[in-house]
Amino acid sequence: TKWVYSFGDGNAEGTRDMRDLLGGKGANLAEMSSLGLPVPPGFTITTEACTWYYTHDDSYPDGLDGQVEAALRAVGELTVRRFGDRDNPLLVSVRSGARVSMPGMMDTVLNLGLNDDTVPALARASGDERFAYDSYRRFIQMYADVVMGLDHHAFEEVLEDFKDGNGHSLDTELTAADWQAVIERYKKLVLEELERPFPQDPYEQLWGAIGAVFGSWNSARAITYRRLHDIPGDWGTAVNVQAMVFGNMGETSATGVAFTRNPSTGEKALYGEFLVNAQGEDVVAGIRTPQDLTEAARAATGSEAPSLEAIMPDAFAEFIGICDKLEAHYREMQDVEFTIERGKLWMLQTRTGKRTAKAALKIAVDMAGEGLITSQEAVMRVDPAALDQLLHPTIDPRAKRDIIGSGLPASPGAASGALVFSSDEAEEAKSAGRKVILARVETSPEDIHGMHAAEGILTSRGGMTSHAAVVARGMGKPCVSGAGMLRIDYRKGTMAAAGRTFNKGDIVTIDGSTGQVLLGEVPMLQPELSGDFAALMEWADKVRRMKVRTNAETPADARAARGFGAEGIGLCRTEHMFFEGERIVSMREMILAETEAGRRTALAKLLPMQRADFVQLFEIMQGLPVTIRLLDPPLHEFVPHTDEEIAEVAAAMKVDPERLRERALQLDEFNPMLGHRGCRLLVTYPEIAEMQARAIFEAAVEAGKETGSPVTPEIMVPLVGMKAELDLVRGRIDAMADAVAKETSTKIDYQVGTMIELPRAALRAADIAKSAEFFSFGTNDLTQTTYGVSRDDAASFLGAYQQKGLIEHDPFVTLDREGVGELVQIAAERGRKTRPDIKLGICGEHGGDPASIAFCEEVGLDYVSCSPFRVPIARLAAAQSAL
């Protein structure tokens, strides 16, 4: 078996396509070498050797040692050095490199091969004794730490003691002789702590480092990381051994990192930093301030320190040429590491560069424009979830953050304002021209006006599908929910966290993209929906199969969604239309009425409001499909609780408040989410369905006349578990359609369908499809009922499940393919069997989640529906899943 792949001097045994075998770093080193780029010669030990190692009691396969020695000799020939040679020693770096970059594994050992015999040779070769002994002591420290397991703090203590004892305060004051003395103390420390000497034999050093890389693949941290990111344990890691080049050999040496385009703006300009006379670690360690690469960048930052372009023009020119070559070759923005040793440029790494959403968008569209990639590739290059960053204000990454707490990133974007603890206060402040953040333990329908008035919403309880989260996403407002460490005290008007107390009026900032709550007003970056965005969306729409609709109730939401490219309404939650103003009183009247007559009185008040709303929605949607869901209010969201609320409704109903209080108590439920809601309410009070159906049909007729094109409403029945429920409600709807058609002498086209949001409905889909022309998967409730996890209480324990690695994602955010997904699949298959042309969609929060959208494509749903601000995300995700 071939365990070792060599590279160097314009050749390589591997290629970039061999990531699985050589790891990402190794494959790209081979590729760069084949391209004729200056790569220090070296070799890669395969991931297969790693797999062999840990399936055979940490032993090496036969033949590996011979192959390593041969490869090492070849490196020696190219560099005119020999491993362990006293006159001309070869020194190497040893690095791990899995298929994907993975924290938790051994990173790097530099200067391997140094020992008491070879260090004088390094001093001679470099002409710098101090440098040689400093390198040796760094090697001992690094090697003892990562290979032998002796914490680096122990070494730092020794060094501090030495400096104190010799009147030094800075490392730079130490002479070669000082470092030699430190080295003796380091060796003594190793002997005392580990009861074995620091290895002097370079081969022993090398095998120790190889073993440490392999061993680190199964470190606790690496295992946890793999479990959380679905990385199989049998991938293994490769080991890269490479001739050392020194960026710290004086003023003509340097080391740096660069991106071939600006990773934060996407601008087509080399972007990076370097340090003169330094090793790689020094650049990232942040001890010295790195310098700009180009003159243009230096001029822009106004830095005093000269650019690489200015001080090493030849190496710089070569470097620029290499960056262009790499980008053209990989057809992707690259993140590279380089070292200049006494004026000679060496490339140490190249990989696809990480970037912000803004940069990803610009780079993808620019590269398609440059002809480097196709428009379809451009579509695949932008992470849909990251589009969120582009659609909302974000906290300036350079801003200081004083974090006072954190919760769930429930609705993206950032906002600042004065703390208020009630919706009325929020509204008052807003009308007085002040910006506020509404902080509540949780929100309820009564808070809608406050949520509208606030810049952002913060709750200490509730999950990703809590009322606050769902409504805020619908409004496109930032929301942090379930920030459990915040103690909100309505009575005192305070919010306490970690020993600090904040009062009403204190300015805070919430970041709904990360879940952070910050003190004070923090600088923001405003979204720019540039031409790039439109171009990418157009390309995405060309390849997309699924339609994208929106969940919207208000004209404002519907218009916003149209602006984002929604192709209809997939869910109009009619109960949300009653959250506002006077309407909630009539709604409560209806719910609290003790007789059908009482209910009909209240319904009669609601009818014109409903009709007017629907007319507007139909008009805005201009003939696009509109799915209207009949009332689905978990009763607890509407039953009044406070004296004030009870008095208000009692007055409207002209009944005794005490009587009303009793009725409210009667309606109290232990499990409202599993209680008298959805179609159960329509079964017990069919007059509600009648009123709503009438409002829909009358509105369809009116809007059809006004716009000149007929409207085909889709009427949806929620929380159906059996066909008989749907049949009963459908009977009322059909009868009302006939009645309105007669009254208006207009033919009415409509469809009746159902939500699939209970496991029983999914299982009985074949039967239910006999009466349903469409299904819409209500995956919020379907997740709640499949898991038996309350969507409003999940936050208090699902976080721990995620931390402990039991689940990777919150199932209320990303659809659980295995469980909930199987039910969706079953329902789709069974529904289609009965009715081959049945229309299938999804309207739970998952309809805006890219991973869940990919699942919807696999199941072959016709459309996804999501809150307005997620429509662009869904368009892109649907396109990617179709490609």
Q: Which residues are annotated as a binding site for substrate?
A: 573, 629, 757, 778-781
Among the candidate windows 94-102, 303-311, 479-487, 779-787, which touches ligand PEP by CB under 6 A? 779-787
Least Å from the CB of residue 633 to Mg ion: 11
Query: Is the distance from CB of 778 to CB of 844 less than 8 angstroms?
Result: yes
Q: Which of residues 604-633 bind ligand PEP (CB under 6 A)?
A: 632
Min dist CB 267 to ligand PEP, Å, is 41
- Output the CA–CA distances (angstroms, integers) from residue 123 to 87, 94, 740, 810, in the order listed: 11, 22, 97, 57
Residue 779 contacts which entry, ligand PEP, Mg ion, none (Cβ below 5-8 A, type-dependent): ligand PEP
Query: Helix 531-543 vs helix 871-882: angle between axes, to the nearest 10 degrees?
Result: 50
Q: In angstroms, what is the minimal distance from the CB of 687 to ligand PEP?
A: 22
* 491, two tokens: 């009575």
Binding positions for Mg(2+) are: 757, 781
Q: Are 846 and 874 in contact (CB under 8 A)?
A: no
Rounded to a whole number of angstroms, the minimum distance from the CB of residue 438 to ligand PEP is: 21
Q: Which of 272, 409, 778, 872 binds ligand PEP (CB under 6 A)?
A: 778
Applying CB under 6 A, does 792 fall inside the site for ligand PEP? no
| 247 lines the binding site for ligand PEP (CB under 6 A) | no
Is position 757 an interface residue for ligand PEP (rule: CB under 6 A)? yes
- Distance, CA of 50 to CA of 830 (rounded, Å): 47
d(CA 763, CA 291): 64
Q: How far apart are CA 215 and CA 106, in angstroms?
A: 9
How many CB atoms sit inside 10 A of residue 763's CB? 16
820 binds, among Mg ion, ligand PEP, none (CB under 5 to 8 A by kind): none
> Which residues are 395's β-sheet partners?
524
Phi-psi region of 745 (alpha: psi -120 to 50; beta: other; left: phi over 0): left
Is residue 781 at the binding interface for Mg ion, with CB under 5 A as the rule?
yes
Whole-number minimum distance, CB 449 to ligand PEP, in Å?
20
Q: Does 425 bind Mg ion (CB under 5 A)?
A: no
**Residue 478 partner contact from Mg ion, ligand PEP, none using kind-dependent CB cut-offs of 5 to 8 Å:** none
Secondary structure (H, E, C), 210-277: HHHHHHHHCCHHHHHHHHHCCCCHHHCCEEEEEECCCCCCCCCCEEEEEECCCCCCCCCCCEEEEEEC
Nearer to ligand PEP, 14 or 844 (CB): 844
What angle, 0 to 180 degrees and rounded to 10, lies between the N-to-C axes of helices 531-543 and 357-369? 70
Would you say 758 or 878 has its CB closer to Mg ion? 758
Coil, helix or strand at residue 516 = strand
Which residue lies nearest Mg ion, judged by its C-beta?
781
Residue 467 is among the residues annotated as catalytic for this protein: yes
CB contact at 8 A, 842 and 865: yes
Least gap, CB of 444 to ligand PEP (angstroms): 14
63 DSSP 8-state letter? T
**Residue 778 found at the interface with Mg ion (CB under 5 A):** yes
How are strands ordered across the β-sheet holding 271-276?
291-292, 271-276, 254-259, 334-341, 344-352
Partner whose footprint covers residue 513, from ligand PEP, Mg ion, none (CB < 5 to 8 Å by kind)? none
Pick from 309, 553, 781, 810 the residue near ligand PEP by CB under 6 A: 781
Minimum CB distance to ligand PEP smaller for 26 or for 778? 778
For residue 844, state whether it binds ligand PEP (rule: CB under 6 A): yes
**CA atoms in the 13 A half-sphere facing the CB of 405:** 24
Q: Closest approach of Cβ 778 to ligand PEP, in Å? A: 3
Q: Which stretch binds ligand PEP (CB under 6 A): 195-203, 342-350, 772-780, 800-808?
A: 772-780
Q: Which of 50, 479, 572, 843 is catalytic?
A: 843
Please report the sign of the dihedral spanned by the C-alpha atoms of residue 171, residue 177, residue 181, residue 183. positive
Least Å from the CB of residue 464 to Mg ion:
14
Taking a C-beta distance cutoff of 8 angstroms, is the pair 639, 588 a contact? yes
Residue of 392, 467, 576, 846 marked catalytic: 467
Stretch that binds Mg ion, among 143-151, 757-765, 791-799, 874-882 (CB under 5 A): 757-765
Phi, psi of 111 (to 5 degrees): 65, 25
CB 211 within 8 A of CB 58: yes
- DSSP class of residue 190 equals H
- Answer yes or no whether residue 841 interacts with ligand PEP by CB under 6 A: no
Q: Is 553 in the site for ligand PEP (CB under 6 A)?
A: no
Instruction: Name the token pair of 582.
Output: 């006077």
Q: Is 138 in the site for ligand PEP (CB under 6 A)?
A: no
**# residues contacting ligand PEP (CB under 6 A):** 10
Minimum distance of ligand PEP from residue 583's CB (angstroms):
18
843 sits near ligand PEP (criterion: CB under 6 A): yes
Q: Helices 119-126 and 129-146 sit at what angle, rounded to 10 degrees?
A: 140
449 is catalytic: no
What does each C-alpha distance from 252 to 84, 165, 177, 278 come to in angstroms? 27, 34, 24, 11
353 binds, among Mg ion, ligand PEP, none (CB under 5 to 8 A by kind): none
Q: What are phi and psi of 339, to 5 degrees?
A: -140, 140
Residues in contact with Mg ion, shown as a per-residue x/- string from 166 to 205 under the rule CB under 5 A: ----------------------------------------
Binding residues: 573, 629, 757, 778-781
Please tell me whether residue 698 adopts helix, strand or coil conformation. Answer: helix
Torsion of CA 309, 310, 314, 318, to 10 degrees: 0
* Closest separation in Å from C-beta 640 to ligand PEP: 21
Q: Residue 763 CA to chain centroid, in angstroms?
A: 33
In angstroms, the Cα distances linking 577 to 366, 552, 564, 611, 661 are 44, 10, 22, 11, 25
Residue 573 lies near ligand PEP (rule: CB under 6 A): yes
Interface with ligand PEP in residues 632-651 (CB under 6 A): 632
| Between 690 and 757, CB nearer to Mg ion | 757
User: What is the C-alpha to C-alpha distance for residues 370 and 384, in angstroms, rounded to an integer?
Assistant: 23
Distance between CA atoms of residues 190 and 196, nearest Å: 7
Contact region with ligand PEP (CB under 6 A), list: 211-219, 555-563, 740-748, 777-785 = 777-785
* CB of residue 551 to ligand PEP, shortest distance in Å: 7
- Sole binder of ligand PEP in the list 51, 771, 780, 852 (CB under 6 A): 780
366 scored as a contact of Mg ion (CB under 5 A) = no
| Closer by beta carbon to Mg ion, 575 or else 781 | 781
- 721 or 778: CB nearest ligand PEP: 778
Binding mask 15-54 for ligand PEP (x = CB under 6 A): ----------------------------------------
> Are 540 and 520 in contact, with CB atoms under 8 Å apart?
no
- Look at the chain and count its residues: 883
Residue span binding Mg ion (CB under 5 A) among the ranges 307-315, 568-576, 778-786, 845-853? 778-786
* Binding segment (CB under 6 A) for ligand PEP, from list 342-350, 378-386, 778-786, 872-880: 778-786
Q: What single-letter amino acid sits at 806?
A: L
Asked if 353 touches ligand PEP (CB under 6 A), the answer is: no
Contacts of 709 (CB under 8 A, 6+ apart): 622, 623
Would you count residue 779 as binding ligand PEP (CB under 6 A)?
yes
The interface partner of residue 843, options being Mg ion, ligand PEP, none and the CB cut-off 5 to 8 Å by kind, is ligand PEP
Pair 53, 60: CB distance under 8 Å: yes
**Is residue 65 within a helix (H) or strand (E), and if so which, with residue range?**
helix 64-79
C-alpha to C-alpha distance for 291 and 304, rounded to whole angstroms: 9
Which residue ranges make up the site for Mg ion (CB under 5 A)? 757, 778, 781
Which residue ranges make up the site for ligand PEP (CB under 6 A)? 571, 573, 632, 757, 778-781, 843-844
Residue numbers annotated as active site: 467, 843
